[in-house]
Amino acid sequence: MKCEKCENKIVFKSPNLCKDHFIKYIENKVHKTIKENNLIQKDDKLVIAASGGKDSLTVLHITHLIHKNIVVLAIDEGIKDYREHTLETLKEFCKERNLELHIYSYQKEFGQTLDSYLSKNKIRPCTLCGTFRRYLMNKYAKKLGATKLLTGHNLDDEAQAFMMNLFTSQLNLSARQGLETGIIKDDKFIPRIKPLYFCSEKEIRAYTFLKGWDLKYDECPYVPESFRFSISDELNDYEINHKGSKENLVKNFLKILPKLKEKSNDALKPLIECVKCGEPSSTQVCNACKFKKAMV
């Protein structure tokens, strides 16, 4: 089959594009998302949260094509036989682009690696890890002087998060989703933006493959234990027979998002400083400090 833009053979279906046109298509799509949604301003200092996986390298590379004031922040959770490899990839990637990279670890910040916490405590890995990760990302993005924190969340991530909140009757949590995360506007919170919002996981996988990036360690070993994993499986199965469902889900979610935000704004508690660490929190002690205390 021929590319819809030229005479070359296609490497991707729907849209049917050859290698060069597919790469351009993804880069244009991300740049358009940034521009049309006003995600980045000229004078922004961007901190990109990267792990060395396909999504973070893609957002880093494509954003760097149009914006140079970028610092990279990575979190080393301490996941043996996985994170050390992705961080190696990330170091190489940043070195090639002459980008400043800062790595913060659970070991140093919380006294233990994620593996160690999980070997002694019965808790869903992503519940603990996600809390610690968000905490460190915000804390250090602030210290690095970020005006925006970029993450590699894609269309699939967004569809999964919405479904998870629906299934667990926590629709109020979806008010924090969208192209710019969060509902609280406060200096203590760095706005988090998602330039890959309209790119599917399949598209990003194809993009990194066609760019020739060697990404062997793309999935955290704890993923199969997560609720997100089963939702992701269900959505992928559904997408096979109902093409475009994930995109429709996210686009329709965006239509109800303003209402969700409005509703949660009414219920918001004012932000205070955590009495233990001084980071922003809606309760006396923030969730990261609560977890740190509760874990052995």
Binding site for ligand SF4 (CB under 6 A): 77, 125-126, 129-130, 220, 222-223, 226
**Nearest CA-CA partner of 141 in 209, 196, 192, 177:** 192
H/E run at residue 98: none
CB of 228 to ligand SF4, least distance (A): 8
Angle at CA 111, nearest 5°, toward 108 and 115? Answer: 100
Q: Which is nearer to ligand SF4, 224 or 258 (CB)?
A: 224
CB of 109 to ligand SF4, least distance (A): 14
The answer to whether the beta carbons of residues 124 and 225 sit under 8 Å apart is: yes
Q: Which is nearer to ligand SF4, 137 or 141 (CB)?
A: 137
Q: Which is nearer to ligand SF4, 130 or 191 (CB)?
A: 130
Characterise 15 by phi-psi region: left (phi > 0), alpha (psi -120 to 50), beta (else): beta
Across the beta sheet with 70-76, the strand order is 100-105, 70-76, 46-49, 148-150, 192-193, 180-181
Q: Which is nearer to ligand SF4, 56 or 174 (CB)?
A: 56
Number of H helices, E strands in the chain: 11, 8
CB of 91 to ligand SF4, least distance (A): 18
CB of 51 to ligand SF4, least distance (A): 7
Q: Which is nearer to ligand SF4, 22 or 217 (CB)?
A: 217
Please tell me the chain's helix, strand, coil percentages from 3-state DSSP, rounded to the nearest 5. Answer: 50, 10, 40
CB of 226 to ligand SF4, least distance (A): 6
CB of 39 to ligand SF4, least distance (A): 23
CB of 220 to ligand SF4, least distance (A): 3
> How would you label 187-226 residue by residue, b for 16+ Cβ within 10 Å and e otherwise?
eebbbbbbbbbbbbbbbbbbbbebeeeebebbebebeeeb
How many angstroms separate the CA atoms of 47 and 59, rounded? 11
User: In the Cβ-directed half-sphere of 123, how many Cα atoms lie within 13 Å?
Assistant: 20
DSSP codes joined into one string, 141-194 = HHHTT-SEEE----HHHHHHHHHHHHHTT-GGGGGG-SSEE-S---TTS--EE-
Q: Which is nearer to ligand SF4, 47 or 220 (CB)?
A: 220
Q: Which is nearer to ligand SF4, 33 or 226 (CB)?
A: 226
CB of 221 to ligand SF4, least distance (A): 7
Q: Which is nearer to ligand SF4, 135 or 222 (CB)?
A: 222
H/E run at residue 27: helix 19-36
